[in-house]
Amino acid sequence: MKHSVAETEAPFPSVAVLGGGAWGTALANVAGAAGRKVLLWAREPEVVEGVNQDRENPLFLPGVPLNRNVAATSSLAEAAGSDLILAVPPAQHMRSLLKGLKPHLKPGAPIVLCAKGVERGTLALMTDVLAEEIPEAAPAVLSGPGFAKDVARGLPTATTIASPDEALAERIVATIGLPTFRPYVADDLVGAEIGGAVKNVIAVGCGVAEGRKLGDGARAALITRGFAELTRLGLAMGAKAETLSGLCGLGDLVLTCCSMTSRNTSLGAALGEGRALKDILAERRSVAEGAESAPAVVALAARHGVEMPICAAVDAIVAGRISIDEAIVALLSRPFKAERA
């Protein structure tokens, strides 16, 4: 049955954002500013209380006032009654979240996957996890360049909404799009996911170079050759080249690798300065997805016969298998080759 234009473009009246971290809170603020009734689900009682009483997320986004349309809850069942679901947990927790969501999900509610990573062990993308856990749910992916604090404050940002259902993607755009939050529609789920997952790993490497004071030229080389790795894996998995060179691939890679605001870049910089991973993580509430997904990205590359030396070096550093100096020597000792390779 075909939908009319009015039906397909009509916004979803209510939105649930599952995940009370910085990015989930920022997306909740966007949806609230777009005029939707928003329910932010968070595990932390301090977040729920802070959002509902003080209009602020004191743990993950302090100092950023939240729209009056945003409320918070610790009840997944309550949040699951919304018309549109934005799933924003860390990638390694997506499966457990979806398992908990399934019994309560409103029939027909689409799920927008907003986590950037690859599941360790299974090597599943987030859309694969959704297909396994809630196969009846219509999938979409939100991915692109944007820092939570900037997005939450209403600074201009562009992103990608990917879905095989163009009408659904356009309806999601109608629901959360703003003059300062500009979603572009795509149909390439794999490209949107690979771009977001791989760029986080490359960003850790760029951070290491920053911490080791290797210079801007080294960062430019890592971004460029990292993009080659991202592209090789994406194409091998069926992604479209234009998706990988767009907002959710190259755009996100450049932003993340060029700013210490990135959790992945700042983690790499701390490693590059000689700090121990366990000490860095002990100081943080938020997850650095690049460190978490690095082994899965490298294993995925091996599965598809794709060479990804930068990602492999990041994985080895994070896992403690080699030192940073050894990784640098190994990368700089690789044979010279044509740039297209």
159-212: per-residue pLDDT in tens? 999 999 999 999 999 999 999 999 999 999 999 999 999 999 999 999 999 999
CATH superfamily assigned to domain 190-332: N-(1-d-carboxylethyl)-l-norvaline Dehydrogenase; domain 2 (1.10.1040.10)
Q: Catalytic site residue 199?
A: yes
The candidate with the shortest Cα–Cα distance to 37, out of 6, 19, 58, 12, is 12
Q: How far apart are CA 205 and CA 288, in angstroms?
A: 13
Mean pLDDT along residues 281-299: 92
Q: Does pLDDT of 5 surpass 80?
A: no
Q: Does pLDDT of 3 surpass 90?
A: no
CA 41 to chain centre: 18
Residue 139 in contact with residue 189, Cβ under 8 Å?
yes
pLDDT value for 44: 97
Mean pLDDT for the chain overall = 95
**CATH 3.40.50.720 domain residues, the chain:** 5-187
The candidate with the shortest Cα–Cα distance to 22, out of 51, 59, 53, 50, is 59
Identify the weakest region by mean pLDDT among 9-13, 34-38, 127-131, 207-211: 9-13
5-187: what fold? Rossmann fold (3.40.50)
103-128 pLDDT, tens digit per residue, is 999 999 999 999 999 999 999 999 99
Mean pLDDT along residues 231-241: 98
pTM above 0.85, yes or no: yes
Q: Does pLDDT of 6 surpass 70?
A: no
Check 37, 99, 199, 213 and give the catalytic one.
Answer: 199
Computed on alpha carbons and rounded to an integer, the radius of gyration of the chain in Å comes to 20
216-236 vs 189-211: helix axis angle to the nearest 10? Answer: 160
Mean pLDDT along residues 317-332: 95
**CATH 1.10.1040.10 domain residues, the chain:** 190-332
pLDDT value for 341: 59
